[in-house]
Structure 1
Amino acid sequence: MWEYAFIPYPPAGAGYWTPVTSTLNWCEEDYYASIYFAEIVNSITNFLFLLLGVKGVISCRKNGHDSIFQIAFLGYLVVGFGSFLFHSTLKYPMQLVDELSMIYTTCLMVYATFSYSKSVRYRTILALSLLGLAIFITLYYHYIQNPVFHQNAYAVLTIVVVVRSMYVMETTLRPSWRKKGREPQSQQRQTYEDARDLKILNTMWVMVVYGLAAFLGGFAIWNLDNHFCSRLRGWRREVGLPWGILLEGHGWWHLMTGIGAYLYIVWGIWLRHCLRGRQEEYRLAWSHFYSIPDVVRVSDSDKPVNGSAKLGASHQNGSAMKIH
Structure 2
Amino acid sequence: MADAMVSSFWGPVTSTTEWCEKNYTHSSYIAEFYNTISNIPCILLALMGLINALRQRFEKRFSILHISNMTLAIGSMLFHATLQHVQQQSDETPMVWEMLLYLYVLYSPDWHYRGTMPTFLFFYGAAFAVLHSQVRFGIGFKIHYVILCLLCIPRMYKYYIHTKEASSKRLAHLYLATISLGSLCWLFDRLLCEKIHGWYVNPQGHALWHVLMGFNSYFANTFLMFCRAQQLGWSPRVVHLFGAFPYVKIQKPKVQ
TM-score if structure 1 supplies the norm length? 0.71
**Equivalence map 1:1-324=2 (5 Å):** 12-116=5-109, 118-119=111-112, 122-171=113-162, 173=163, 198=164, 200=165, 202-235=166-199, 238-239=200-201, 244=202, 247-279=203-235, 282-286=236-240, 291-298=244-251
Structure number, greater radius of gyration: 1
1:138 CA drift (Å): 2.8
- Secondary structure of the residue aligned to 1:164 is helix
1:142 CA drift (Å): 3.7
- Contact 1:15 1:36 survives alignment (8 Å): yes
- Contact 1:14 1:30 survives alignment (8 Å): no
TM-score if structure 2 supplies the norm length? 0.89
**2:211 maps to amino acid:** L
- Secondary structure of the residue aligned to 1:206 is helix
Q: Hey, what's the Cα distance between the residues in 2 that align with 1:292 and 1:155? A: 28
Q: Hey, what's the Cα distance between the residues in 2 that align with 1:155 and 1:117? A: 24
1:169 CA drift (Å): 4.3
1:107 CA drift (Å): 1.0
Q: Hey, what's the Cα distance between the residues in 1 that align with 2:29 and 2:142? A: 28
1:129 CA drift (Å): 1.4
- Secondary structure of the residue aligned to 1:293 is strand
1:299 CA drift (Å): 9.8
Residue equivalent to 1:187: none
Cα deviation, 1:221-263, whole Å, max 9, x if unaligned, reads 111111221221221xx34xxxx4xx11100110111111111
Q: Report percent identity of matched pairs.
A: 25
Cα–Cα, structure 1 residues 127 and 41, in superposed 2: closer, same or farther, change >3 Å?
Answer: same
Q: Hey, what's the Cα distance between the residues in 1 that align with 2:87 and 2:174? A: 30
Q: Hey, what's the Cα distance between the residues in 1 that align with 2:70 and 2:37? A: 14
Cα–Cα, structure 1 residues 68 and 21, in superposed 2: closer, same or farther, change >3 Å?
Answer: same
Cα–Cα, structure 1 residues 14 and 230, in superposed 2: closer, same or farther, change >3 Å?
Answer: farther
Q: Which runs of 5+ in 1 are unaligned?
A: 1-9, 174-197, 301-324
Residue equivalent to 1:317: none
Cα deviation, 1:50-74, whole Å, max 9, x if unaligned, reads 1112111111111121110000100
Q: Which runs of 5+ in 2 are unaligned?
A: none
Cα–Cα, structure 1 residues 103 and 11, in superposed 2: closer, same or farther, change >3 Å?
Answer: closer
Q: Hey, what's the Cα distance between the residues in 1 that align with 2:241 and 2:41? A: 20
